[in-house]
Amino acid sequence: MKLAFSTLGVPGLPLPDVLRLAAEHGYHGVELRAHAEEPVHPGLDDARRAEIAAEFEAAGVEVLGVAGYARVAEPGDDDPVVAEIRSLLELARDLGAPFVRVFPGGTDVQAPEEADAVAARRLGTAAEHAADLGVRLLLETHDSHRTGAAAMRVLGLVGHRNVGALWDVMHPWLGGEQPSETYAALAPYLGYVQVKDIASPSDTTPLPLGAGVLPLADCVEVLSRHGWDGWLCWEYERRWYPEAAPLHGLLTAGRDHLARLLNDSA
């Protein structure tokens, strides 16, 4: 498996510094948070996109994915959501990224079947554009569809090879799903896996990998047992928890922890 980290852990850090961290600490790739407050977002012009792609290539670091904020199950008109997804897909294509992350983003006022249908319709509408661009659109296990079973309901309705799943290991576990259950649900759709660690179900402050309660060993074991050979991406959510320790000093230990888990499960 290849290892990456998300720029959510180093908010606002210039890309040359992100690339230096990846290279110095032995990460194969970076997941880019696509937001206007970050160096990478859909508002970039073509020249800047080409520069960024060249910077990654020169550093020998891959752009794993573009982490967008489109919410595909959110109530409202389809057109703005689909337009946002298309802009993220085009950004990913220009940067050489194979994946785009979107959220479910449904609300409590929706019936589950309504949220499923809205999300599937929008993802299905964007799927052919994703295929034309050579990018895969991934629905993250999050908010209204936090478990693998919930995400599978949507993905099964879409039924397109360019629409898949991003397994964030925290949310299905908080939703009562064990790693073996999440993998079984998402296996046909799985794009990559976001790993992290937290203090407790009631305290999701990010911790160094292996220092918290999330079943990372079980997640890696089930992936290895089934021969899955994709990406593990450390999403250290310091953007939302500025009191957390800086990611810079944790990267080598985090890489080593994941390497041990991979070795133990081999």
Mind listing the pLDDT tens digit for each residue in 51-100? Answer: 999 999 999 999 999 999 999 999 999 999 999 999 999 999 999 999 99
pLDDT score of 72? 98
Opening angle at CA 196, ends 191 and 201, nearest 5: 115
Instruction: Choose among 1, 66, 55: nearest CA to 30.
Output: 66
Low-confidence stretches of the chain (pLDDT beneath 70): none
Indicate the length of the chain as a whole number: 266
pLDDT score of 237? 95
Opening angle at CA 102, ends 232 and 246, nearest 5: 50
Backbone angles phi, psi at 243, to 5 degrees: -80, -10
Could you give the domains of the chain?
2-265 (3.20.20.150)
Quote the tokens at residue 138. Answer: 């991934």
> Which secondary-structure segment (H or E) carries 73?
none
Rounded distance between C-alpha atoms, residue 186 and residue 5, angstroms = 21
Are 210 and 216 within 8 A, CB to CB? Answer: yes
Q: Which residues on neighbouring strands pair with residue 198, listed in sequence order?
A: 206
Backbone angles phi, psi at 38, to 5 degrees: -110, 165
Instruction: Choose among 95, 44, 100, 46: nearest CA to 69.
Output: 100
pLDDT score of 89? 98
pTM for this prediction: 0.97
In the chain, % of residues over pLDDT 90? 97
pLDDT score of 109? 84
CB atoms within 10 A of CB 224: 17
